[in-house]
Amino acid sequence: MPGLYVHFPFCASKCIYCDFYARVRKDWKPYAEALMQEIRDRAEELSVPPTTLYFGGGTPSLLPASLLLQVAEQCRSSFGVRDWAEFTVEVNPDDVTPAKADALRDMGVSRVSMGVQSFDDAQLRWMRRRHTAAQAVEACATLRRAGCDNLSLDLIFGFQGLTDAGWLASVDRALALQPEHISCYQMMGRWGDADEERCRRQYHLLQERLTANGFIQYEISNYALPGRESRHNSAYWSREPYLGFGAGAHSFDGRRRRSWNSPDIDAYLAGRQYGSETLSDREVYEEKLMLALRTVQGLPLAALTAEERALLAQKEPVLERLSKTGKIERDTDRLRIPVRELFVSDSIIRELFPD
């Protein structure tokens, strides 16, 4: 079912690893007004009501709760939604006060995603995070007291100087807070660890520790207690339609058309500027492979057209080799990458692309 994504491209400071569009500025009110205008203008683009709402960034929790509420109410009224199946807001630990936590609850937020990244203060300072480990722990407690019963924590591994022991220490600190969901990402780029084997080992240590504590891995970077998978993000991987609002936000019609707003706050405030593309048959096929094989469930062959199944059949020698080496599992109706091989999924998926 369709979802709505609202981008708040504001941060109090930039972390060293961040590739998302965000700026250190505070013109929040005019931006919220522009957001609400875009939401009104595009309300006819979905043929059925959306079921999920996601406030991401940037740092949505940086904004006053009153502005977040106005945008949330605009989404409800423009799309005729009374209750969301899932309403997620991303937060930074240092923004979570009792008043902010209560406000999120009162506006109908049912899921909070907190960017913790590490429970080591020295690592947090190096990443240029604004919070301490103690603040992250207190933020979790504050959200729980406000009634939050669906909490997701983000962690980062595979960066320079991170030892296996240090990584597991952060994972264990996260587990001690009893979240319902954990997302873990490998740091890439200039700050990433060039030792691929060490990064692979940390990824496998994570899988083992979370699985032993009742978490189910359902996507390359995401783990949840049973029934607590992110409904909004899961729709991305199954190519469900969604609308993205705000500077730098992306949209998809569920078929071939992808569009995006210009990643420029000033341009957005002056009047929405956007680009779009129509995917070719080959691009649709490659996207189906890439997105579905990121998930533990894999690719249901019924999702492929007859032409796409013919393209996949051309890769039979490759599939046979990958199956024999344990890189791919397949049966009569599904193709998947085994959990133990998800760390190298990109290279496996590329082998299945048409020549």
Which of 228-232, 234-238, 269-273, 287-291 comes out lowest in average pLDDT? 269-273
Q: Which of 99, 91, 101 is nearest to 147 (CA)?
A: 101
Instruction: Give the model's pLDDT for residue 73.
Output: 98
Residue 327 has pLDDT above 90, yes or no: yes
* For the chain, domain boundaries: 3-236, 280-355
Instruction: Give the model's pLDDT for residue 12.
Output: 83
Instruction: Give the model's pLDDT for residue 355.
Output: 86
For residue 49, how far is the Cα from the chain centroid? 22
CB 116 within 8 A of CB 90: no
Residue 229 has pLDDT above 90, yes or no: yes
Q: What are the CA-CA distances from residue 255 to residues 115, 211, 248, 262 (Å)?
A: 32, 35, 21, 22
Residue 312 has pLDDT above 80, yes or no: yes
Residue 1 has pLDDT above 90, yes or no: no
CB 110 within 8 A of CB 76: no
Tens digits of residue pLDDT in 81-95:
999 999 999 999 999
The mean predicted confidence, pLDDT, of the chain is 96
Distance CA 345, CA 329 (A): 13
More confident residue, 14 or 219: 219
Instruction: Give the model's pLDDT for residue 19.
Output: 72
Tens digits of residue pLDDT in 16-32:
787 766 677 888 999 99
- Taking residues 140-149, report their average pLDDT: 98
pTM greater than the 0.85 cutoff? yes
pLDDT over 70, % of the chain: 99
Protein fold of 3-236? TIM Barrel (3.20.20)
Give the angle subtended at the CA of 167 by the CAs of 180 and 196, to the nearest 5°: 115
Q: Which residues of 209-232 are buried (b: 16+ CB within 10 A; e: fewer)?
A: bbeeeebebbbbbbbbbeebbbbb
Tens digits of residue pLDDT in 330-350:
998 999 999 999 999 999 999
What are the E-state strand segments in 210-267? Answer: 216-219, 222-224, 242-245, 250-252, 257-261
CB 149 within 8 A of CB 126: no
CATH 3.40.50.300 at 280-355, yes or no? no
